[in-house]
Amino acid sequence: PITPGELLCLGSSLAFSGLFYYLFRKKARVAARIQEAPKLQVDDDLPALVSAADGRCLPYVVLEGIVLPAKAALTSHYHEGLQGVIQKLLLKEHRLIWNSLARSW
């Protein structure tokens, strides 16, 4: 005979397994889209291509080309000769709403 506690454990185990499998498949689809991303060159045709795209946005593309640092290139502390640049830093602030129950913004 199976007790109600065992049924509860079995049901919750199946529910969590289903949830984690769904999240795994969702992330696997995103990773596959990133792997299949088209490669574009940074050249004079890129602005026209972006403006012609739906919503003026190109989701999941690989940009290849030469970039120049604004001030100085970042050098790696772990690998000699490896340099990089930060092209753009985006800061997005969300609207704050006072939560009277938690007494926080």
Q: Domain spans of the chain?
A: 4-84
pLDDT at position 50 over 80: yes
The pair of three-digit structure tokens given for residue 36, joined into one six-digit string:
């299949």
| pLDDT level of residue 65 (50, 70, 90 thresholds) | confident
Indicate the pTM of the whole model.
Answer: 0.47
Mean pLDDT rounded to a whole number for the chain: 86
| pLDDT single digits (tens) 12-23 | 999 999 999 999
| pLDDT average, residue stretch 46-68 | 84
- The residue among 69, 63, 94, 97 whose CA lies nearest residue 83 is 69
